[in-house]
Structure 1
Amino acid sequence: MNYCIYVCGNTSTSSGLTVSVTREGNEFAMEAGALMLADQGCCCIDEFDKMPSQHACLLEAMEQQSISVAKAGIVCNLPTRASILAAANPAGGHYNKAKTIAENLKISSPMLSRFDLIFILLDQPNEQMDLLLSKHVLGLHKAARIKTNVEENTFEESDMEQDSLRERLRNTGEIIDYLPHPLFRKYIAYAQKYVKPYLSDEAKEIIKEFYLSLRKQFKTGDCTPITTRQLNSLIRLTQARAKVELREEATKDDAKDVIEIMKFSLDDVFTDSTGILDKSRSQIGTGMSTKNQVVRLLTSIQRKSDAEAKSVFRTKELKELSEQLGMDNKKFYHALQTLNLQGYLLYKGQNQYQLVTAGV
């Protein structure tokens, strides 16, 4: 039987998530935590950013799908084959697109790399979305099912970019007969237990080409590393896409749908504060997408200061140094702001900056 366990991060401990050892008389016994109870099911963790000290115990469970226990003379390996769905809030209550996910959520890089998909949900004003959300919330309080018409369920073409997967998922006006909750639970349990899809040759080829393209695009030192973990994620998601329709074979269409979802997730992660997709931006590093260039710029400023025996420079002089390093206009002002915030350059007014001696 499959379970769905809900856990709130700010009230959970490492033992509550994995396993705890209790003493009963002269014998020791183990009590299952949330991950063990959710074996072959789903474990939903809310307030994930409020439990940084418990993240270490999740690394093994998410990577190996098991937990090794060595407590009170008990040495064993317990299965935790659960899917983890986590929700977190940014530090300070506001998501800063100029920073990376690791900086916004205060979550370690190894922990972030364990998740197959990462979606950033920003609360942006949208008339259609706000209307649908308000109707849904009011409908819950009235305990009535709100039926919206086609116009209310359809977004304008200018609101978001269309793609084939979203078009197929969108309500086109047909009457949908939703499954009852108990039947839907049985459907998921049946699919997880009896449906074991395999990848077709065409699906393997599409996944391979996409994985190689990711390796090619994210190959610099500042980028998020693309490893076999991402390849395994693509395989699992493709098989899950076929499992939803109770099919034993994962086709090329399943692989294409998963690639669209993966691209959407990557767009969320690598879009900077200006709305530009910057593939040199690391989701697990600092907010600077060109960290090496920033360091080189600071080094050049230090050399110029030593050569000319001065510490105050005009913005025009600093920009000339950045152009010699091959930095474009946008990256230069971002680097200048970063160096100012970190205290390497002090703004003195009238477009002048003073260099503070620093080891690079």
Structure 2
Amino acid sequence: MILKPMEQPVLPERTSEKPAIVITVGDPAGIGPEIVSKAIANAEIFKICRPIVIAELGILQREIERNHLGIKIEAVSEITDQMKFLPGTLALINIGIPDRLPEYGKVNRDCGRAAFEYLRKAVELAEEGRISAITTAPVNKLSIKAAGIPYAGHTEILGALTETIDPLTMFEIAGEMRVFFLSRHLSLIDACRMVKKDRVYNYILRCEAILNQLGIQRLKPIGVAALNPHAGEGGLFGSEEIEEIIPAVELARKKGIDVVGPIGADSIFNMSRKGAFSAIISMYHDQGHIATKTLDFERTVSVTLGMPVLRTSVDHGTAFDIAGKGIADPTNLIEAVKTAARYS
């Protein structure tokens, strides 16, 4: 089942006081099942949403038992308004794969396939209007590749399933700082090649639209980060600012958008932290990731926008090195669920 493509980014309509949020566990060999189980065991999220987990029954039972969480699993075949969502009960849509418990911390094509199928089911539920948003635990890109799935990660998979061209990624830290990304999973040299006037201008327009749709109060401009050191220093350290970024910003300002830049990447995030901007557009993946995760790793949430369904995610990976040890912290996942509920 495929959602129809949208010409404009949309957000789902809220259908009840508490939105239904689907949580996918990601790669079964990673920490996803553990942090999802721990998040459900935390009664906090039941105050703000109706959580439904998509996974395989056995992998969740393993985590509940190993971590002594004291919650029960209630398998459900569909989501209805009559369902009761109570603390201590994990509502599960059981996909049934992988067909046996995987070894922790290992690349596994069956786990890659399972993670994909969990997402596919989540998109089907969105298409049917059963849920308001999706929150995802991490997938492993090597396992996805081993499964023969031709997409780099969550965002690319969801873009394909929803027929969305170039979904928009925003990092948010507890509603305090928002960072958009001009590009995602590219080598650094390819990311630099993406810094073109038309793309920067298009992203300014899209970010403006998203901020308005999310209902974010706009008291400050959008800040556009520079690509080169010292914003190129007048062309001494690169010409992208002069040839690509400045013309894009000037064009957007002529369209009435409150936007400034380019501003040196060594300064713009600190300025935003002090309240200078409503959001930042970073020029590539690590430029924004390093800043946000250094500021507050546990509360940085990835939000995927511009699709027919809102998606939030943790900002960390599968953590194969600690999978199965019972020490994974669910804080970031809980923050992701909170963000999904806030914007649903």
Given the two structures, how large is their TM-score scaled by the length of structure 1?
0.22
Q: Which one scores higher on RCO, CA 8 angstroms, separation ≥ 6?
A: 2
Larger relative helix fraction: 1
TM-score by length of 2: 0.23
